[in-house]
Structure 1
Amino acid sequence: MDSNFAALGKVSLRQFRAFIAVASTGSFTGAARSLNLTQSAISIMIGDLEEELELRLFDRTSRSVTLTEAGRELLAPAHRALVDLQAAVFSSRELSRKKRGKVRVAATPLFSSLFLPDFILTFQQEFPAVEIVVKDVSAPLLKSLVLEGEVDIVIGTPIPSDTEGPDGIAMDLLYLDEVVLVCKPDHRLAKLKSIDWSDLKDEPYIAVTFESGTREIVEAAMAAVDVTLTPVFEVSSVWTLLGMVAAGLGFAFVTGNSRLLTPLYNVRISRVGDRRIDRPIGIMRHPRRSLTPAAATFAQRLTEWMNAPGRRALQQR
């Protein structure tokens, strides 16, 4: 135990409060009235405090109660102790009500640019005193940021190894993002009424790297229908991928997030096969650390915001 705490012995803040009340009112009766206690309770607390400190704090007569020199020296520190405690209690209550705090969040540049700005604006209107720190990083860095404690939460698609084993990230599903095919409007695939996986075999394929969760999801969908496609290009950035598709270099797969960018590139969106290809987008956190009240509220509000009917329809249009 710290020596400073050991020196406190049985001294309590209730005794300090009684001591300050007696010093302020100049009587045990006035102190009892101000604290809504009995006079005997005040006398017992002052007596116990004097005994514990081995100091006489008040000179008592039948007509007055005055501070001794030791009492005068103790008065200012006792005031500070109560003020500091009140500030600590207020701060804790503010934190528990999510009115203050700090949220550190990491997400891919795509999610950070398309969704986080509008959400943060909405969140800060409700919680203006919560500080928000955003890190926009590539998908492979997300896991290390949360496991090393640099951020509270990350938003993205985990690869299977991210959530497995003792060091796996804890994840709460944010929403399911549909993976779709994109090509130029005058591409052969764009002219088909429906696209089957077999229609893709002879077409140039542009893929994101395996660092993206989308690549593994697309590969799994291909394996399920016994189709193998070899990319002519592999890129890390969705902006590069869409630029190549718009230039006519081939077709590609993007997620519902990415397709919000497609009007900028004049590309056509289509589904492939008769089943949706879903990519889970999750809020990931450290498996053995609790979120702060502010971070937990941020995650809850983000889930509600992302799944609002109008916003989901916008992503799926």
Structure 2
Amino acid sequence: MNVTARQLRAFLTAARLGSFTRAAEEVAVTQSGFSLMVKELEGQIGARLFDRTTRSVHITEAGAKLLPVAQRMISELESVIASIDRMSDQARRELTIAATPVMAASILPGICRDFSNAHPYVRLHVRDVGRKEILSLVESGEADLGLGAFFKPASGIARKRIGRFRLIYLTATSTGGYKGAEEAKPSEIPWAMLPDEPLISLPSDNPIQQVIDGCLKDVGRSIEQRDICNNLLTAIALVEAGYGSAIVPSFVLPMCERFEVTCQTLGSPVAPIDFFMVTKKGREASDLVAMFADAVSQTMTHD
């Protein structure tokens, strides 16, 4: 026996509509082609399935016995095909995340690893670019989401705060302070108690540096000569080498563990750095974006 799904669907359609003409139209074949499919099925079954006249089609006793079996077979087949289609869709899913190089090198690797383990059907792509390029990639649709300390609203961009970080003070390793993962968190130092030694800074137009500069101004350190680094990783390395100290956001702590530096949390006053996820405004966020944002939010240190 070689009964096909196409033949069973033709049989079910004719039984439901009571007309070969309308059934042929619904399955998009000629009436002669439809009649041939039913005839071939009857030959496979070895019984007549319909009594046909010029005006009507009635299912026979043999057809009535076949009907529930055919319905169940087609229903199960369609269910399996739908399930396979969903698996195929999942297998093809991708998510592109744009983040600054420091974020891409510090927090994202662990988040991406855990997310990929939980969702193996999703392929993640990380673009490590500058702050302005993150917004450009998101707005153009080349990135599904961006991560960073974006302080000002931007045209065409939707922002959602998903984390908050403290600022930390880095010096070359000495006694005291925090080094590595031996303690739960770095010790704390007030801004007014910062040692009078050279500071390595980010560029003045960096929003994190602008927060730092505001706090330094409040303790009388707004006018001083500083070395400028575009990359936080460079600043950390220079601190280790003894070229000065630096004030950086606490999300770099995983990177600090690779260097011989001491970390102290800055307080009195606390100057939090808000961390945002950005997406294209007006574009409905996918379930993948929501799941990844949740993973980032759960990983980040909140204050």
TM over 0.5: same fold? yes
Instruction: Give the match for residue 184 of structure 1.
Output: 172
Instruction: Give the match for residue 105 of structure 1.
Output: 97
Instruction: Give the match for residue 282 of structure 2.
Output: 288
Q: Is the 8 A contact 1:155 1:283 kept in 2?
A: yes
CA distance in 2 between counterparts of 1:176 and 1:221 reads 17
Q: Percent identity?
A: 19
Q: Is the 8 A contact 1:100 1:127 kept in 2?
A: no
Deviation of 1:51 (Å): 5.8
Listed as ranges, the matches of 1:108-119 within 5 Å are 108-119=100-111
Is residue 20 from structure 1 mapped to residue 7 from structure 2 by the alignment?
yes
Matching residue within 14, 21, 35 for 1:58: 35
Q: Which amino acid aligns with 1:184?
A: A
Q: Is the 8 A contact 1:99 1:127 kept in 2?
A: no
Q: Is the 8 A contact 1:157 1:279 kept in 2?
A: yes
Deviations 1:160-180 (A, max 9, x none): 1xx24x43x212222111111
Name the SS for the 1:133 alignment partner. strand
Instruction: Give the match for residue 246 of structure 2.
Output: 252
Q: Which amino acid aligns with 2:22?
A: D
Residues 182 and 104 of structure 1, relative CA distance in 2, 3 Å threshold: same
Is residue 301 from structure 1 mapped to residue 295 from structure 2 by the alignment?
yes
Instruction: Give the match for residue 18 of structure 2.
Output: 43
Is residue 239 from structure 1 mapped to residue 242 from structure 2 by the alignment?
no
Q: Which amino acid aligns with 1:130?
A: V
Q: Is the 8 A contact 1:201 1:229 kept in 2?
A: no
* Structure of greater relative contact order (alpha carbons < 8 Å, 6+ residues apart): 2
Deviation of 1:103 (Å): 0.5
Residues 125 and 202 of structure 1, relative CA distance in 2, 3 Å threshold: closer
Q: Is the 8 A contact 2:162 2:277 kept in 1?
A: yes
Listed as ranges, the matches of 1:76-115 within 5 Å are 89-90=82-83, 93-94=86-87, 101-115=93-107
Q: Is the 8 A contact 2:192 2:219 kept in 1?
A: no
Q: Which amino acid aligns with 2:247?
A: F
Instruction: Give the match for residue 137 of structure 2.
Output: 145
Q: Is the 8 A contact 1:205 1:229 kept in 2?
A: no
Aligned length in residues: 255
CA distance in 1 between counterparts of 2:81 and 2:270 reads 52
Matching residue within 112, 124, 132 for 2:124: 132
Unaligned runs of 5+ residues in structure 2 are 40-46, 51-77, 179-186
Q: Is the 8 A contact 1:140 1:211 kept in 2?
A: no
Q: Is the 8 A contact 2:91 2:121 kept in 1?
A: yes
Is residue 265 from structure 1 mapped to residue 259 from structure 2 by the alignment?
yes
CA distance in 2 between counterparts of 1:92 and 1:285 reads 28
Listed as ranges, the matches of 1:131-210 within 5 Å are 131-160=123-152, 163-164=153-154, 166-167=155-156, 169-185=157-173, 196-198=190-192, 203-210=197-204
Name the SS for the 2:291 alignment partner. helix
Unaligned runs of 5+ residues in structure 1 are 1-16, 24-30, 66-84
Residues 271 and 231 of structure 1, relative CA distance in 2, 3 Å threshold: farther
Deviation of 1:22 (Å): 5.9
RMSD of aligned Cα (Å)? 4.1
CA distance in 1 between counterparts of 2:171 and 2:129 reads 27
CA distance in 2 between counterparts of 1:154 and 1:137 reads 10
Structure whose residues are more often helix by fraction: 1
Question: Please, what TM-score do these two structures have when normalized by structure 1?
Answer: 0.65
Q: Which amino acid aligns with 1:175?
A: G
Deviations 1:98-121 (A, max 9, x none): 675110111122222222222222
